[in-house]
C-alpha cells in the first residue's frame, strides 16, 4: 500500500514528519491511530504492539513477516506516545529542540564537536613519558655593575673589569614526553667557581659629550678670558688667555667648571667659555694664527722663522693700502723664501724694507731695486747705495747680511756651511739690531709698529 496516504510506511516518513504529527496531536488536531498493515495481518492493540518482543514464541509466525521498516515505525509511535504523556523537559533539552513559538518549519541544532573516544584513548596510549636523573656542571652568568663617571661623555662606557663566568654542580631530574624536554626539578646545587662581576664606568657628562672630548684633550677659548686659581669667579686670576688659544683639559669637577693647563700654568675656567675642534672646526686654524701672534712683541727673537705659511704671507701683503706701487704685494714670496732659507723672521725683514723705502716709493728703491738703502752712507746715500737687478736679489742679500753680522752670536752655524761673524751682534732683538744698524735711537720701535700692522692682517 505504498500509494495509500493513510499507511504508516517508514520509507515515506522521516523524523521531521513524526514531530509534526506530535505537534498536531498535542494541539488536539489529530488523534493517535494504530498503524495499518497490508496483507493478512490484523490490527493489534497498542499493548501488543509495544510488547511484541516479550511474546516472541507466541507470535513468532507473525513477526517473521514483519519488515525492518515496521519495527522502526513502532519505535517512532513509542516516542510519540511518551512525548504526549511526559513533560517535554525529560526528553528534549532546549539546546536540541526549541518548541516554544515554533511553527511547522522548526529547526534543530546539530552537535558538530562530538568526542572521538577512540582517538583520546589511542593518544594516551601513544604518549611516552620518561624521567632521568642527571649530575652536570653548568656555567653561571656574571653580574654587570655600572659606576657613574662624571668625567666621561654621557652614555660612554669604559670596561674597568671584564666579567668571568662561574660554575655550579647540579643534580636534577629531567622529564621528557615523546622525546621532548618538558621540565626540570633541581635536587641539589653546589658552587664550583664563583662568577666575577663585570665593572663598567658609565659617563654622565653632557659637556664632554657635546664637544666630543675626554680628559686630557685640547680645548679652545671662545674669547679672551681669565684663568682662575679656584672654581669661582671671585677667585685670584692666574693669567689672561687670549681668544682661540688652546688649553689642556685636566679635570671636570662639575658641569660648570673645569681645571685646565695653559703653557705650564694650571687653573680653572668656566666650561661655557670653551669649545672644541668638533664643535668649531675652524678653531684649529685660528689657534695656529693666535699662537703666532702671542709671540709678537718688541723683545721677540728674530733669528728664527715666524711660523707663517706662504698663504699667510700672501694674505698679509695683498691689498695693503700704503703699497701704492704693489712692490710688496708682488714680492711677498721673496720675504717668505728668505725666512725659510736663512732662519730670519720674514715679517721683520719686510718691516725694515717698508720703513727704509717708504713703502717702496724712495728714489733708491725705484731706481736701484734697493728697498733697504743697503750700502748707503749719510753723506752720499743715493750714490753709495747698492744696485740690484731685482727686488728679490736685494731682499736676499740683506737677509744674509743680518743673519751673519747682526742676529747670531759668533760661531753659530748659519747658511751654506758658514758660521756667524757677529760683527754687530748685540742680541737677536729689534733693540739689539738698532744698536749698530741705525743711528735713530727709536728705529726699533718704528720697525716694530710696522711689524704689528702686518701681523694684524692675519
Residue 185 has pLDDT above 80, yes or no: yes
Among residues 269, 292, 315, which one ends one of the domains?
Answer: 292
pLDDT score, position 25? 61
Say what the pLDDT of residue 3 is.
43
Distance CA 244, CA 289 (A): 9
Does residue 242 sit in the same domain as residue 383? no
Give yes or no: residues 281 and 325 share one domain. no
**CB neighbourhood size of 169 (10 A):** 13
Q: How many domains does the chain have?
A: 4
* Range in 10-24, 66-80, 351-365, 384-398 the model is least confident about: 10-24
Average pLDDT over residues 211-240: 96
Q: Between residues 314 and 31, which one has the greater pLDDT?
A: 314
Instruction: Please identify, among 44, 63, 91, the residue that sits at the C-terminal boundary of a domain.
Output: 91
Which pLDDT score, from 0 to 100, does residue 363 have?
Answer: 95
Check pLDDT > 50 for residue 410.
yes
Q: Which residue has the higher pLDDT, 181 or 15?
A: 181
Give the three-class secondary structure for 145: strand
With respect to residue 185, please indicate whether it lies within any of the assigned structural domains: yes
Distance CA 147, CA 156 (A): 11
Range scoring the smallest mean pLDDT among 78-87, 260-269, 392-401 = 78-87
Average pLDDT for 33-62: 42
By three-state DSSP, how is residue 39 classified?
coil
* Residue 106, domain member (yes or no): no
Q: Which of 203, 225, 212 is nearest to 272 (CA)?
A: 225
- How far apart are the two ends of the chain, measured CA to CA in Å? 131
Is residue 182 located within the same domain as residue 86?
Answer: no
| pLDDT at res. 378 | 80
Q: Domain range for residue 40? A: 10-91
Average of pLDDT values for 250-258?
Answer: 96
Q: Residue 251 sits in a domain of what CATH number? A: 2.30.30.40
In a domain, residue 117? The reply is: no
Do residues 221 and 322 share a domain? no
Task: Round to whole Å and give the CA distance between 11 and 69.
Answer: 7
Q: Do 288 and 301 belong together in one domain? A: no
Q: Which of 91-105, 120-134, 181-195, 275-289 has the lowest mean pLDDT?
A: 91-105
pLDDT at 306: 94
Does the structure show a pLDDT above 60 at 283? yes
Q: What is the CATH number of the domain that holds 392?
A: 1.10.530.10
Please give the pLDDT value at position 351.
98
* Residues 286 and 304 placed together within one structural domain of the fold: no
Domain annotation covers residue 123: no
Percent of the chain with pLDDT over 70: 72
Summarize pLDDT for 119-136 with one digit per residue, the tens.
555 555 566 899 999 999
Residue 154 domain-assigned (yes or no) = yes
Does 403 lie in the same domain as 327? yes
Q: What is the pLDDT of residue 114?
A: 52
235 and 139 housed in the same domain: no
Q: How much is the pLDDT for 41? A: 44
pLDDT tens string 149-176? 999 999 999 999 999 999 999 999 999 9
Please tell me the predicted confidence (pLDDT) of residue 35. Answer: 47
Distance CA 158, CA 147 (A): 10
Contact 399, 390 (CB under 8 A): no
Question: Of the residues 91, 109, 142, which one is the last residue of a structural domain?
Answer: 91
Least confident of 66-75, 228-237, 334-343, 429-438: 66-75
- Please check whether residue 112 lies inside any domain of the structure: no
Confidence at residue 13, expressed as pLDDT on a 0 to 100 scale: 54
Instruction: Tell me the per-residue pLDDT of 338-375, one tens digit each, with 9 for 90 and over.
Output: 999 999 999 999 999 999 999 999 999 999 999 999 98
Residue 88 — pLDDT band, cuts 50, 70, 90?
very low
User: Would you say residue 107 lies in a domain?
Assistant: no
Share of the chain above pLDDT 90, in %: 69
Instruction: Give domain status of residue 103, yes or no.
Output: no
The x, y and z cell numbers of residue 30, run together, are 489529530
Q: Residue 64: is its pLDDT beyond 60?
A: no
CA distances from 64 to 22, 52, 71 (A): 30, 12, 12
Which pLDDT belongs to residue 376? 86
- pLDDT confidence of residue 314: 97
Q: What is the band of 27 on the pLDDT scale with cuts at 50, 70, 90?
A: low
DSSP H or E run through 210 = helix 206-211
- pLDDT greater at residue 2 or residue 168: 168
CA atoms within 13 A on the CB side of 15: 6
Q: Are residues 251 and 332 in the same domain?
A: no
| Whether 340 and 266 share a structural domain | no
Q: For position 128, what pLDDT does the model report?
A: 85
Same domain, 409 and 332: yes
pLDDT at 379: 84
Q: Do residue 193 and residue 217 come from a single domain?
A: no
Amino acid at each position: 500500500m505504498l500509494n495509500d496516504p493513510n499507511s504508516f510506511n517508514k520509507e515515506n516518513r522521516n523524523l521531521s514528519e513524526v514531530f509534526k504529527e506530535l505537534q498536531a496531536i498535542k494541539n488536539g488536531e489529530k488523534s493517535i491511530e494504530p498503524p495499518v498493515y497490508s496483507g493478512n495481518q490484523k490490527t493489534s492493540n497498542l499493548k501488543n504492539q509495544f510488547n511484541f518482543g516479550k511474546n516472541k514464541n507466541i507470535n513468532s509466525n507473525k513477526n517473521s513477516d514483519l519488515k525492518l521498516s515496521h519495527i522502526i515505525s513502532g519505535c517512532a509511535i513509542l516516542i510519540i506516545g511518551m512525548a504526549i504523556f511526559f513533560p517535554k523537559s525529560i526528553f528534549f533539552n532546549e539546546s536540541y529542540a526549541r518548541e516554544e513559538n515554533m511553527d511547522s518549519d522548526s529547526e534543530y541544532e546539530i552537535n558538530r564537536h562530538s568526542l572521538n573516544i577512540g582517538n583520546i584513548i589511542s593518544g594516551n596510549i601513544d604518549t611516552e613519558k620518561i624521567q632521568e636523573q642527571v649530575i652536570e656542571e653548568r656555567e653561571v652568568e656574571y653580574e654587570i655593575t655600572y659606576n657613574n663617571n662624571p668625567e666621561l661623555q654621557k652614555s660612554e662606557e669604559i670596561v674597568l673589569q671584564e666579567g668571568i663566568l662561574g660554575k655550579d654542580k647540579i643534580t636534577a631530574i629531567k622529564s621528557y614526553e615523546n622525546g621532548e624536554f618538558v621540565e626540570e626539578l633541581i635536587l641539589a646545587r653546589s658552587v664550583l667557581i664563583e662568577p666575577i662581576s663585570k665593572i663598567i664606568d658609565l659617563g654622565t657628562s653632557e659637556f664632554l659629550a657635546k664637544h666630543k672630548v675626554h680628559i686630557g684633550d685640547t680645548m679652545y677659548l671662545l674669547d679672551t678670558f681669565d684663568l682662575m686659581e679656584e672654581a669661582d669667579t671671585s677667585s685670584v686670576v692666574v693669567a689672561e688667555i687670549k681668544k682661540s688659544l688652546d688649553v689642556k683639559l685636566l679635570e671636570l669637577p662639575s658641569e660648570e667648571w673645569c681645571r685646565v693647563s695653559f703653557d705650564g700654568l694650571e687653573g680653572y675656567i668656566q666650561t661655557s667659555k670653551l669649545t672644541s675642534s668638533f664643535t668649531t672646526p675652524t678653531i684649529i686654524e685660528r689657534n695656529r694664527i693666535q699662537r703666532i701672534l702671542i709671540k709678537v712683541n718688541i723683545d721677540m727673537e728674530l733669528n728664527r722663522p715666524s711660523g707663517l705659511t706662504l698663504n699667510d704671507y700672501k694674505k698679509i701683503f695683498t691689498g695693503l693700502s700704503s703699497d701704492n706701487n704693489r712692490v710688496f704685494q708682488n714680492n711677498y714670496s721673496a720675504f717668505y723664501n728668505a725666512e725659510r732659507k736663512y732662519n730670519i723672521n720674514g715679517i721683520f725683514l719686510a718691516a725694515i724694507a717698508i720703513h727704509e723705502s717708504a713703502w717702496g716709493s724712495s728714489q733708491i728703491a725705484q731706481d736701484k731695486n734697493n728697498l733697504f738703502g743697503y750700502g748707503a752712507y749719510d753723506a752720499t746715500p743715493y750714490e753709495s747705495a747698492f744696485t740690484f737687478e731685482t727686488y728679490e736679489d736685494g731682499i736676499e742679500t740683506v737677509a744674509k747680511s743680518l743673519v751673519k753680522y747682526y742676529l747670531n752670536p759668533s760661531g753659530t752655524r748659519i747658511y751654506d756651511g758658514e758660521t756667524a761673524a757677529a760683527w754687530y751682534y748685540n742680541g737677536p732683538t729689534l733693540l739689539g739690531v738698532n744698536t749698530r744698524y741705525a743711528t735713530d735711537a727709536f728705529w726699533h720701535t718704528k720697525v716694530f709698529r710696522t711689524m704689528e700692522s702686518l701681523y694684524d692682517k692675519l
